[in-house]
Structure 1
Amino acid sequence: MRGKSIPIVLGMIIVLIAMLGFHKYGLHSSQSPVNMWITTADQSKLLHQEADLVWVKDNTPNNTTIVIDWEKEYQQIDGFGAAMTDSSAWLIANKLNSEQRSDLMNKLFDHKQGIGVSYLRLPMGATDFSLKSYTYDDVPEGQTDPNLHNFSIDYDKAYIIPTLRKAKDLNPDLKIMGSPWSAPAWMKMSDSLIKGSLNPDFYQAYADYFTKFVQAYAAEGLSIDAITPQNEPHFEPDGYPGMRMEPADQANFIKSHLGPAFEKAKLGTKIVIWDHNWDEPYFPIQILTDPEASKYIAGSAFHGYAGEVSSQQKVHDLFPNKDIYFTESSGGNWAPDFAGSLKWDMQNLIIGSTRYFAKTVLKWNLALDELNGPKNGGCPNCRGFVKIDQKTGAISYNPEYYSFGHASKFIRAGAYRIDSNTLGSGNIEDVAFRNPDGSEVLIAFNSAAERRKFKVQRGNKSFSYTLPAGAAATFVWTGEKRSTK
Structure 2
Amino acid sequence: MNGLLTAVLLAGTTASAGPTVQVVWTSEKNPGDGAWFNGPIAFSHALSQQASGTFTNPTSTSATTITVDPSVQYQTILGIGTSMEESTVFNLARMSATKRTEVLRKLLDPSTGAGMNFLRITLGASDFTGRTFYTYDDRPYGQTDPSLTYFSIQKDIDYNIISTLKQALAVNPNLKIFASPWSPPAWMKDNQSLIGGKLLTQHIPVLATYYRKAIQAYQAQGIPIYALTVQNEPLYTAPDYPSTSVTSDQERQLIIAVRNELNANGLGGVKIWAYDHNFDSAASYMAPIMSDATANAAVDGVAFHDYAGDPSAMTQLHNSYPNKNMLMTERSWWGTTGADRMAQYFRNWAVSYNAWVTMLDSTIKPEQWTGTPGPTMLIQNAYTYDTYWVLPELYLIAQYSKYVQPGAKRISSSYGSSGTVTNVSFLNPDNSVVSVIINQTASSQTFKLSSEGQELLATIPAKTVGTYKWTRQSTGTPTNLLANPSFEAGNASSWNSEWHNAALAYKVDTDYPYLGAYKLTLFEVGAYQQLLGQTKTVANGTYTASVYVRSGGGQNVLRLYAKNYGGAEKTAEIGSSVVTNYTKYTITGIQVTNGSIEIGVYTDANAYNWAAFDNFELVKN
Q: Which residue of 2 aligns with 1:266?
A: 266
Partner Cα distance (1:62, 1:310) in 2: 31
Partner Cα distance (1:238, 1:56) in 2: 59
Deviations 1:97-118 (A, max 9, x none): 2232222111111122210111
Match of 1:368 among 337, 360, 364: 360
Say which SS state the counterpart of residue 39 (structure 1) adopts. Answer: strand
Q: Which residue of 2 aligns with 1:219?
A: 220
Q: Which residue of 2 aligns with 1:68?
A: 68
Q: Which residue of 1 aligns with 2:584?
A: none
Distance 1:425 1:87, change over 3 A: same
Q: Which residue of 1 aligns with 2:95?
A: 96
Alignment of 1:186-197 (within 5 A): 186-197=187-198
Residue identity opposite 1:220 in structure 2:
Q
Residue identity opposite 1:127 in structure 2:
S
Deviation (angstroms), 1:285: 3.2
Q: Which moved more, 1:444-453 or 1:293-302?
A: 444-453
- Contact 1:41 1:469 (8 Å CA) reproduced: no
Partner Cα distance (1:214, 1:156) in 2: 13
Partner Cα distance (2:125, 2:426) in 1: 36
Matching of residue 36 in structure 1 with residue 20 in structure 2: no
Q: Which residue of 2 aligns with 1:126?
A: 125
Matching of residue 280 in structure 1 with residue 267 in structure 2: no
Say which SS state the counterpart of residue 234 (structure 2) adopts. Answer: coil
Distance 1:203 1:274, change over 3 A: same
Q: Which residue of 1 aligns with 2:253?
A: 252
Matching of residue 412 in structure 1 with residue 412 in structure 2: no
Matching of residue 309 in structure 1 with residue 287 in structure 2: no
Say which SS state the counterpart of residue 279 (structure 1) adopts. Answer: helix
Partner Cα distance (1:472, 1:348) in 2: 12
Distance 1:180 1:313, change over 3 A: same
Residue identity opposite 1:114 in structure 2:
G
- Contact 1:68 1:420 (8 Å CA) reproduced: yes
More strand, by proportion: 2
Partner Cα distance (2:470, 2:125) in 1: 43
Q: Which residue of 2 aligns with 1:112?
A: 111
Deviation (angstroms), 1:59: 8.5
Say which SS state the counterpart of residue 34 (structure 1) adopts. Answer: strand
Q: Which residue of 2 aligns with 1:234?
A: 235
Residue identity opposite 2:108 in structure 1:
F
Partner Cα distance (2:61, 2:319) in 1: 30
Deviation (angstroms), 1:194: 0.9
Residue identity opposite 1:36 in structure 2:
V
Say which SS state the counterpart of residue 142 (structure 2) adopts. Answer: coil
Deviations 1:423-475 (A, max 9, x none): 22322211111222222211010234432211112212221111123211011
Q: Which moved more, 1:473-482 or 1:268-277?
A: 473-482
- Contact 2:26 2:392 (8 Å CA) reproduced: no
Deviations 1:41-80 (A, max 9, x none): 4531122111111122338897722222112211111111
Alignment of 1:371-390 (within 5 A): 371-390=363-382
Q: Which residue of 1 aligns with 2:321?
A: 319
Match of 1:461 among 429, 451, 454: 454
Residue identity opposite 2:213 in structure 1:
K
- Contact 2:400 2:436 (8 Å CA) reproduced: yes
Distance 1:397 1:266, change over 3 A: same
Q: Which moved more, 1:40-49 or 1:237-246?
A: 40-49
Residue identity opposite 2:27 in structure 1:
T
- Contact 1:277 1:302 (8 Å CA) reproduced: yes
Match of 1:295 among 282, 287, 297: 297
Q: Which residue of 2 aligns with 1:335?
A: none
Matching of residue 343 in structure 1 with residue 330 in structure 2: no
Deviation (angstroms), 1:186: 0.9
Q: Which residue of 2 aligns with 1:51?
A: 51
Partner Cα distance (1:398, 1:368) in 2: 12
Using structure 1 for the length normalisation, give the TM-score: 0.87
Deviations 1:339-396 (A, max 9, x none): xx212211212x0101111111111112111122212343432432211123112111
Using structure 2 for the length normalisation, give the TM-score: 0.69
- Contact 1:447 1:470 (8 Å CA) reproduced: yes
Residue identity opposite 1:106 in structure 2:
R
Partner Cα distance (2:92, 2:466) in 1: 29
Deviation (angstroms), 1:30: 9.9
- Contact 1:61 1:67 (8 Å CA) reproduced: no
Deviation (angstroms), 1:286: 3.4
Partner Cα distance (1:275, 1:61) in 2: 46
- Contact 2:28 2:392 (8 Å CA) reproduced: no
Residue identity opposite 1:362 in structure 2:
N
Matching of residue 436 in structure 1 with residue 436 in structure 2: no
Residue identity opposite 2:399 in structure 1:
H
Deviation (angstroms), 1:264: 1.6
Partner Cα distance (1:184, 1:61) in 2: 64
Partner Cα distance (1:276, 1:71) in 2: 33
Partner Cα distance (1:409, 1:100) in 2: 21
Say which SS state the counterpart of residue 324 (structure 1) adopts. Answer: strand
Alignment of 1:390-405 (within 5 A): 390-393=382-385, 394-405=387-398
Task: Give the percent of matched residue pairs that are identical in Structure 1 and Structure 2.
Answer: 34
Q: Report the structure number with the largest CA radius of gyration.
A: 2
Say which SS state the counterpart of residue 413 (structure 1) adopts. Answer: coil
- Contact 2:26 2:464 (8 Å CA) reproduced: yes
Partner Cα distance (1:460, 1:55) in 2: 10
More helix, by proportion: 1
Q: Which residue of 1 aligns with 2:438?
A: 445
Partner Cα distance (1:258, 1:238) in 2: 28
In structure 2, stretches of 5+ residues that fail to align are 1-15, 30-42, 486-614, 617-621
Say which SS state the counterpart of residue 137 (structure 2) adopts. Answer: coil
Deviations 1:386-413 (A, max 9, x none): 1112311211122421221111111122
- Contact 2:17 2:54 (8 Å CA) reproduced: no
Distance 1:30 1:215, change over 3 A: farther
Partner Cα distance (1:139, 1:317) in 2: 44
- Contact 1:132 1:376 (8 Å CA) reproduced: no
Partner Cα distance (1:444, 1:103) in 2: 29
Q: Which residue of 2 aligns with 1:139?
A: 139
Tell which has more relative contact order, 1 or 2 (C-alpha 8 A, sep 6+): 1
- Contact 1:59 1:461 (8 Å CA) reproduced: no
Deviation (angstroms), 1:195: 0.9
Deviation (angstroms), 1:477: 1.5
Deviation (angstroms), 1:284: 2.1
